[in-house]
Amino acid sequence: MAVLDKSAPATPVEGLAGQKLPPWALPALVGAVVAVAALLWATTGFAGRAGFLVFAVTLYLIAQSVVSFTVEGRRQSVDRLFTTLMYVAFLLAALPLVVITWYTVKEGVGVLSSDFLFSSMFRINPEGPGGGIYHAIVGTLIQSLLATLLAAPIGILAAIYLVEYGGGRPFARAVSLFVDVMTGVPSIVAGLFIYAFWILALGFQRSGLAGSLALFILMLPIVIRSSEEMLKLVPMDLREASYALGVPKWRTILSVVLPTALAGIVTGVMLGVARIAGETAPLLLLVGTNQRIEFNPFSGTEDPTPQASLPTYIFEQFGIAVGNTEAPAFQRAWGAALVLIIIIGLLSLIARLVARLVRVRG
Amino acid sequence: MAKSIDVSGVDIFYGSFKAVEDVSMTIEPRSVTAFIGPSGCGKSTVLRTLNRMHEVIPGARVEGKVLLDGEDIYGSQVDPVNVRRTIGMVFQKPNPFPTMSIYDNVVAGLKLAGRTRKAQTDEVVERSLRGANLWEEVKDRLAKPGSSLSGGQQQRLCIARAIAVSPQVLLMDEPCSALDPISTLAIEDLISELKERYTIVIVTHNMQQAARVSDRTGFFNLNGVGQPGRLIEMDDTQKIFSNPSNKRTEDYITGRFG
Amino acid sequence: MSEQPTLGGATTPSVDRPQASNISGASVRPGDRVFRSAALTAGAIVLVVMAAIAVFLVYRAVPALRDNTANFLTFQQWFPDNDPSTFGIGALLYFTVLTSVLAMIIALPVAVGIALFITYYAPRRASQTLGYFVDLLAAVPSIVYGLWGFAFLAPRMTGLVQFMDKYFGWIPLFDYRPTNVPNNLSPFTASVILAIMILPIISSISREVFRQVPREQVEAALALGATRWEMIRTAVLPFGRAGVTSAAILGLGRALGETLAVTLVLSTAYEVSLHITENGGVTFASNIALKYGEAGEVGTGALIASGLCLFVITLAVNFTANLVIRRQRSA
């Protein structure tokens, strides 16, 4: 070990206790920075809340780096800088979510009333106040339900194929790849496809059903992916235990694998519904709007009119308001947006609850 | 350059679960100390508290004192980063950074400290790889990824990486358990060479290995499932393996349990 | 053992079990065959739908493309129902790519920051809730983003736009030329909205990738005396590079096809312009949403042709993203 013996340590050994900022230092720094920024905003031409935030955060990052560098050294100050940046990144994402929610509630809550929820726009002057979204809620619920009735069984079956039968075969790999690719199909392209296929080629009229078909295309890959994940979680031992009892494969899947994964699959389907319930673009092309309550999703343009839906209703009211955010139509658009967000929020909340309840038991 | 470690009254927790209870020991500089005991007895846990790696696991905490040449590594002003620079660690599974070359793996620790000149790092790489008995095997392919080596070579690369930052103490957590007998022998030879310069603590489930490489041996055990692990006995390796003072140590050594 | 075991012991037939052939014959019983075909059909539907989208869009686009007298790829105006019919995707392509790439550039660092924050900085117990919180951004419908962008965000961007014009106006991108106060129905505002919309997808994929970083790698870095950031730089980021790349590409794909948020925020204009803070611009999707109502026969075909382009672009983008992540997985 001659080499080791003559060599000197590469870095001088320092004590274990490095210089460390006291715990009150950073809160004090925050206070100082806010005070400086507030002073500047009060005495100079700087203005605006957003500008204040940006200025204060930047100033804080600089101040923290300088203080930490002089007291703790380069590595600690870089570490602190990135720690703060991570927090800032998270706040940057939380900010729009909070602001969008707050603004939608603020703008939408004014028109919310039982009248708004339970009446349609039939015989209402679109430029004046009044009217409601009952017809749009009905349409959204029915169209989403139809899409789910199509996407859930097909999606679950396809997931069963991928997990239980596919086994890495080329065809299964192709299906799996295209499920991923299908997730990225823009909703307006799905709408155009159903338009070209269902309406132009097959000659059907625009209807709630046509919209549901496009929603089905958007929902299918979501359901397949989430169901696939859940089926993969079912332990192999369960299947083998069932096979060992002489139960055929299809009965094993139906009576052992599916029930085990059911809660997860239901959660996935509901999250899929939440994702499509707010889709607008395909419905604009395929359904259109209507001022009246229409329960029949098969009802086309001429007998008498297709269904409304919340997203198309919002778009329609936005158009009527022609950019005037004070117009009654704009208020109705916000009201409908609030209701739509609540419906979607409830759906995802229930989905998470289902997932959680079952996780505790299993 | 090597330092001693004094552990007194250490309790180690995972959340509310007490994994190890009341461990006290002295680890001599420039010697090899082995921890043996049945699985789950807390020997690896104790090892990880010696360089504050235990607290990396969420919810884990340590009570008691661990002194490195008299300085408490759990002191309030102590930065765990400094502790880990001073006390290096080699893990059970060889874990070279897969995206880095052999060369970059060795200097990874130095790079973190900054200020690395090429001439200086070249020297450190050669010295560390020679120290880990790996230089002759890899000197022509230092730019190849570290993951291209065999398991035994990877483990020696990890040892080279650990000694490149010139630590005072080297902790080894079952360093041979994932290796074949020939690689194991190479590592054991290396350990006896390294102890001339470093304080070495090694956890092993292989009693022959402990007997071969270590100067002192600590035997850990637990009273039952769910009970905390304890240090039963610690003494010169020769004495532990020939004439242990505790009955349970003797039972374990002679293979009556564990 | 790539084959699924068909029965408990049937995978290892032995001489002393004469019934082995009978047992393995059980996998073709009628119930199994029917169920297997049903599952296979469902899987095939995915391929059929994807093929049908391509076929029907091409089929409906070709006649309109034949009538077109302008260069479809470079022409910037959209008059398919005029005589002679002239339309092209020059402006659509430009603004679609511009807004989406900008959105990705804005979103990527923030999304990676969020992912790192949730996996390595936030308290363990809170991390799942925080992840769910960020995912909520994906639950907000596109049209609500559009309303919010138009009514809330655009009016509040004026200060920023004027600031950029004043200090960075020498860069054409940020140069605001009109004399009126900007009302920000511009590609820039659209990009900001798109960035917010693709944050959750980029950050949730990155989060998954970061979570898969082997524990040994993290501990190796920490044991060398790395600070938390140094550990992330040595162990986490190199491991996650492919995953984050594909997350960014997927985010880009989402932004390319986004319709209503962009439609409501852009004040439509078909001239290609470098000045992103000035009003104007139109994307594939917003053009379809705006023109479908008034489109005649050629107009509809023209919109379908533009939709086909969008489909091909998003397809290419998504394929790329999936190849990147699949290659990483197999490596």
Q: pLDDT tens-digit profile of B16-72?
A: 899 999 999 999 999 999 999 988 888 999 999 999 999 888 888 999 999 999 899
Confidence check: pLDDT of C134 > 60: yes
- In-domain check, residue B101: no
Boundary-marking domain end, from C36, C67, C98: C67
Same domain, C184 and C247: yes
Number of domains in chain B: 1
- In-domain check, residue B65: yes
Distances in Å between the Cα of B213 and the Cα atoms of A131, A171, B181 are 87, 56, 15
- Hey, what are B220's tokens? 């850990």
Which of A334-343, B35-44, C93-102, C251-260 is predicted least confidently?
Answer: B35-44
Rounded to whole angstroms, the Cα distance separating C189 from C183 reads 10
Query: How many Å lie between the alpha carbon of C271 and the closest alpha carbon of chain A?
Result: 22
Rounded to whole angstroms, the Cα distance separating C238 from B101 reads 13
Same domain, C63 and C111: no
Residue A205's region, left for phi above 0, alpha for psi from -120 to 50, else beta, is beta
To 10 degrees, the CA torsion angle through A127, A131, A137, A143? Answer: -50
Burial class (CB in 10 A: 0-12, 13-18, 19+), A73: middle
Confidence check: pLDDT of C11 > 60: no
User: What CATH number is associated with residue C235?
Assistant: 1.10.3720.10
Considering chain A, what percentage of its residues have pLDDT values greater than 90? Answer: 56
Between these two residues, C110 and A75, which has the higher pLDDT value? C110
The residue of chain C nearest to residue A274, with distances taken between CA atoms, is C139
Closest-CA residue to C153 (of C195, C112, C108): C195
Q: pLDDT tens-digit profile of C142-191?
A: 999 999 999 999 999 988 898 889 899 899 889 999 888 888 999 999 99
Q: pLDDT tens-digit profile of A277-287?
A: 999 999 999 98
- In-domain check, residue B57: yes
Judge whether C101 is closer than 8 Å to chain B, CB to CB: no
**Residue-averaged pLDDT of chain A:** 88
Judge whether A23 is closer than 8 Å to chain B, CB to CB: no
- In-domain check, residue B197: yes
- In-domain check, residue B112: no
Rounded to whole angstroms, the Cα distance separating B132 from B118 reads 21
Same domain, C194 and C231: yes
Q: What are the residues whose beta carbons fall under 8 Å from the beta carbon of B231, sequence distance 6 or more? A: B23, B24, B25, B46, B218, B219, B220
Average pLDDT on A233-251 reads: 88
Q: pLDDT tens-digit profile of B158-175?
A: 999 998 988 889 999 999
Same domain, C81 and C204: yes
Which of B128-137, C123-132, C239-248 is predicted least confidently?
Answer: C123-132
Boundary-marking domain end, from C12, C37, C67: C67
The residue of chain C nearest to residue A161, with distances taken between CA atoms, is C39
Query: How many Å lie between the alpha carbon of A16 and the closest alpha carbon of chain B?
Result: 5
Confidence check: pLDDT of C22 > 70: no
Q: Of C31, C53, C146, which has the smallest distance from its Cβ to A189's Cβ?
A: C53
Residues facing B88 on adjacent strands: B170
Rounded to whole angstroms, the Cα distance separating B36 from B177 reads 13
Judge whether B57 is closer than 8 Å to chain C, CB to CB: no
Number of domains in chain C: 2
Helices A74-108 and C124-139: crossing angle in degrees, nearest 10, is 40
Same domain, C24 and C156: no
User: What CATH number is associated with residue B48?
Assistant: 3.40.50.300
Same domain, C52 and C166: no
Contact assignment for A279 to C145 by CB distance below 8 Å: no
Kindly indicate the confidence band of residue A220, based on its pLDDT and cuts at 50, 70 and 90.
very high
Q: So what's the pLDDT on residue C279?
A: 92
Confidence check: pLDDT of A305 > 80: no
Contact assignment for A161 to C315 by CB distance below 8 Å: no
Contact assignment for B58 to C224 by CB distance below 8 Å: no
Contact assignment for C225 to B100 by CB distance below 8 Å: no
- In-domain check, residue B116: no
- In-domain check, residue B103: no
Rounded to whole angstroms, the Cα distance separating C144 from A344 reads 12
Same domain, C94 and C172: yes
Structural domains of chain A sorted by starting position, each given as residue range(s) with its CATH number in brackets? 25-107 (no CATH), 115-358 (1.10.3720.10)
Same domain, C96 and C230: yes
Q: Contact C90/C76 with Cβ under 8 angstroms?
A: yes
Residue-number span of the structural domain to which C1 is assigned: 1-67
Confidence check: pLDDT of B195 > 80: yes
Rounded to whole angstroms, the Cα distance separating A204 from A197 reads 9
Rounded to whole angstroms, the Cα distance separating B202 from A1 reads 21
Q: Of A11, A15, A16, which has the smallest distance from its Cβ to B165's Cβ?
A: A11
- In-domain check, residue B150: no
Kindly indicate the confidence band of residue A333, based on its pLDDT and cuts at 50, 70 and 90.
very high
Kindly indicate the confidence band of residue B81, based on its pLDDT and cuts at 50, 70 and 90.
confident
C314: chain A residues, CB-CB within 8 Å: 184-186, 189
Q: Of A1, A11, A76, which has the smallest distance from its Cβ to B196's Cβ?
A: A1
pTM for the whole structure: 0.88
Q: Contact A53/A92 with Cβ under 8 angstroms?
A: no
- Hey, what are C328's tokens? 């990483």
The maximal CA–CA distance of chain C, rounded, in angstroms, is: 94
Rounded to whole angstroms, the Cα distance separating C136 from C199 reads 11
What is the pairing mode between strands B5-14 and B60-68? Answer: antiparallel
Considering chain A, what percentage of its residues have pLDDT values greater than 70? Answer: 93
Average pLDDT on B203-211 reads: 91
Boundary-marking domain end, from C11, C45, C67: C67
Same domain, C106 and C222: yes
Contact assignment for C238 to B109 by CB distance below 8 Å: no
Average pLDDT on B227-232 reads: 91
Same domain, C40 and C145: no
Same domain, C50 and C180: no
Query: How many Å lie between the alpha carbon of A279 and the closest alpha carbon of chain C?
Result: 7
Same domain, C108 and C40: no
DSSP for A247-271, written as a single string:
--HHHHIIIIIHHHHHHHHHHHHHH
Helix (H, G, I), strand (E, B) or coil at B230: strand
Rounded to whole angstroms, the Cα distance separating A314 from A296 reads 21
Rounded to whole angstroms, the Cα distance separating A199 from A190 reads 13
Which of A314-328, C9-23, C264-278 is predicted least confidently?
Answer: C9-23
Rounded to whole angstroms, the Cα distance separating C12 from C31 reads 24
Interface subset of B 174-233, CB within 8 angstroms of C: none
Residue-number span of the structural domain to which B81 is assigned: 5-94+169-254
Distances in Å between the Cα of A9 and the Cα atoms of B4, B51, B163, C121 are 18, 20, 10, 34
Considering chain C, what percentage of its residues have pLDDT values greater than 90? Answer: 71
